[in-house]
Amino acid sequence: MLKENKRTLIMASIVTILPVFIGLYFWNRLPDVMVTHFGMDNSGDGYSSKAIAVFGLPLLCLALLWIVAVVMANDPRKKNISPKMFSLGLWVIPVVSLIMAATVYPVNLGYTVDITYIAGLFMGVVFTVIGNYLPKARQNYTIGIKLPWTLANEENWNRTHRLAGYLWMAGGILIMVLTFCRCTEIVWYAGVFAAMVLIPTAYSFWLHTARDL
């Protein structure tokens, strides 16, 4: 699977480490200690050295990218992972790396950035895209809702992922709406995410128990 997706993996790797070159370009303008984590009020609450921010974070993302690629490529049911699902699994991390660069660098260069707004929109888009693909996912051990009942029964997997697809798309859209309306308190996002996880889980368990009755 890695050989078949070699070009995609190379491109994703290049995009992932692109923030390193952006950081080098602005190196002399960046502070020695950089804000790298932000609270819900956009204030910085985590700091790293310039070297860690510029080199460490993108390289960590690159390592995660390759771990995800290797795990998917060695999935016992890898034949059920379509090329589109494989690409989706790869491209999430490069996008995260770019989002981090688009927020961390401007803030440390003295610009005002609404981190919560960007993060909320990003989460909404990601959940919506994943929701679109979930009903198309076939049984595997890497991508999808991996519960004992979904992995043991193909019908359970298909029905659970069909429901989850609608919920995740609706959840993603709702998160974007909340973000646009500036309802960015963590309780709103947590509530939406909890529904996206707990409802498909409960539904899958219900299908399992109903089948055994």
> In this predicted model, what pLDDT tens digit does every residue of 70-106 receive, in sequence order?
999 999 998 998 888 888 889 999 999 999 999 999 9
d(CA 102, CA 111): 11
**In this model, does residue 213 exceed pLDDT 50?**
no
Q: What is the spatial distance between Cα 179 and Cα 22, in angstroms, rounded to a whole number?
A: 28
Q: Would you state the pLDDT for residue 210?
A: 85
Residue with tokens 């609404």: 114
3-state DSSP helix/strand/coil percent for the chain, to nearest 5? 75, 5, 20
d(CA 143, CA 89): 8
Among 31, 69, 78, 24, CA closest to 50: 31
pLDDT of residue 82: 85
Tokens in use for 183? 């309802």
Whether the CB-CB separation of 164 and 200 falls below 8 Å is answered with yes
User: H or E element: which one contains 156?
Assistant: helix 154-180
Contact by Cβ (8 Å): 196, 164: yes
Element (H, E) at 56: none
Judged against a pLDDT cut of 90, whether residue 35 lies above it is answered with: yes
Tens digits of residue pLDDT in 4-13: 778 899 999 9
**CA atoms of 121 and 173, how far apart (whole Å):** 9
Hey, is 105 helix, strand or coil? helix
